Amino acid sequence: MTGENLRDAPPELPIFVPATRPDRFERAARSGADCIIIDLEDALLPDERPPARAALARILPNLCPSVPVLLRVNAATTADFPADLDLLDAGGTDGIVLPKAEAQVDLRALRERLPRNASILALIETPRGLADARTLADQADRLAFGSIDYAHTVGIDHTADALLSARSEIVLAAALADAPKPFDGVTPGIDSDMPVERDAGRAAALGFGGKLLIHPAQIIPAIRGFQPQREDADEARELIVRAEGGVSRFRGRMIDRPVLDAARRRVAAFDRAEQRLAAIRAGSASAGTDRV
C-alpha cells in the first residue's frame, strides 16, 4: 500500500471486549466496529487470566465473526505473556495487540513466534516506546497510542495539549515507515457522545487513521468525529465542479493539484461516513434493543 493510498484509507474503529465476556464477542463484531480486540490485559484481574485463557482456547476455534479478531496479550516482560501467545495456536484470531511495546528486537522475535499472516498492533504506552516509535513502526503492522497509560507513566495530564507532541510523533513514525496511519487511544467516558466525537475529530486532524473504542455507544460519535463537516464537504464539491469547468481560483484560493486532491478526499470521506452511519442505524433498527 503506497503513501497516497494510506492517506485515502477510511478510518478504522476497533473495539475492546473483555476476555471474560465471550457472550459479547459476536455482538461486538456486529456493532459496526472494524475489528474486535479480546482483552487479556487491562480488563482482567491477574487471577482471572488463567481461566479466561482456558475458556478462549475452547471458544476461539469456533468463533466466526464478520470482522477481524485480535488478542490483546500482556506485555512481553510479564509472566502471562507466553501463555497468552499460546492462544494464537488455537486459531480463530488474526493477530495480537502488544501493550507497552518498546524494543524492536521483541517485535522481531514475536514475528517469528506468531502464525503466518498474524498481524501485530504495537501499543505505544511508555516513554521508551515513544522514543523508539520510528523503529517499532518498521516491525509492527500498525501502531496505536495508549494515551492513558502513557500519561500516567510520564506523569502528565491526560489532555489534548499535554499529549500533542506524543501523538504527533506516533503519526510521524508511521508515515516515515510508509505504514498505515496509527490508531489513537481510547476515550474513557461512555455517558455522552461529545467527548468521543471531539477526540476523534482531533485525532483525524493530527493524521490518525482510526481510534480505539471501549463501548459500542462510542462508534457513531467516533465516525462523526472523523467525518468532515457537511459545510466543508459541500464547499469541496463546489470547488471540484469549478475546477472541472476550468476555473483556476475559488473563494480567493488558487486551485492547484494538492487543493483539488484534498477536496476530493474530503468529499469521499464525508460520503463514506454517511453510508457507514446509515448501515449501522439500519442494523440497529433491525436488531431492536440488542446491544453489547
216 shares its domain with 92: yes
- What does the chain come to in residues? 292
Q: How far is CA 136 from CA 101, 105, 223, in A?
A: 8, 9, 28
Query: Where is the domain boundary, 224, 255, 271?
Result: 224
The span from the CA of 19 to the CA of 29, in Å, is 14
Domain range for 235 is 230-287
Contact call for residues 13 and 271 (beta carbons, < 8 A): no
Q: Is residue 292 in some structural domain?
A: no
207: left (phi over 0), alpha (psi -120 to 50) or beta: left
Q: In the structure, how many helices (H) and strands (E) does the chain have?
A: 13, 10
DSSP 3-state assignment of 290? coil
DSSP 3-state assignment of 35? strand
Number of domains into which the chain is organized: 2
Intra-chain end-to-end CA distance of the chain, in Å:
34
127 shares its domain with 200: yes
196 shares its domain with 267: no
pLDDT for position 291:
35
The span from the CA of 273 to the CA of 40, in Å, is 31
Query: Where is the domain boundary, 224, 241, 263?
Result: 224
158 shares its domain with 210: yes
* pLDDT tens track, the chain, 292 positions: 344 455 567 899 999 999 999 999 988 988 999 999 999 999 999 999 999 999 999 999 888 678 999 999 999 999 999 999 999 888 889 999 999 999 999 899 999 988 888 999 999 999 999 999 999 999 999 999 999 999 999 999 999 999 999 999 999 999 999 999 999 999 998 888 899 999 999 999 999 999 999 999 999 999 999 999 999 999 999 999 988 888 788 887 888 888 999 999 999 999 999 999 999 988 764 444 343 3
126 shares its domain with 259: no
135 shares its domain with 28: yes
104 shares its domain with 248: no
The span from the CA of 44 to the CA of 124, in Å, is 20
Q: Residue 130: what are its φ and ψ, rounded to 5°?
A: -65, -40
pLDDT for position 161:
97
Q: Is residue 82 in some structural domain?
A: yes
In which element (H, E) is residue 69 found? strand 69-72
pLDDT for position 255:
85
Contact call for residues 133 and 109 (beta carbons, < 8 A): no
34 shares its domain with 162: yes
268 shares its domain with 190: no
132 shares its domain with 197: yes
pLDDT for position 290:
40
275 shares its domain with 136: no
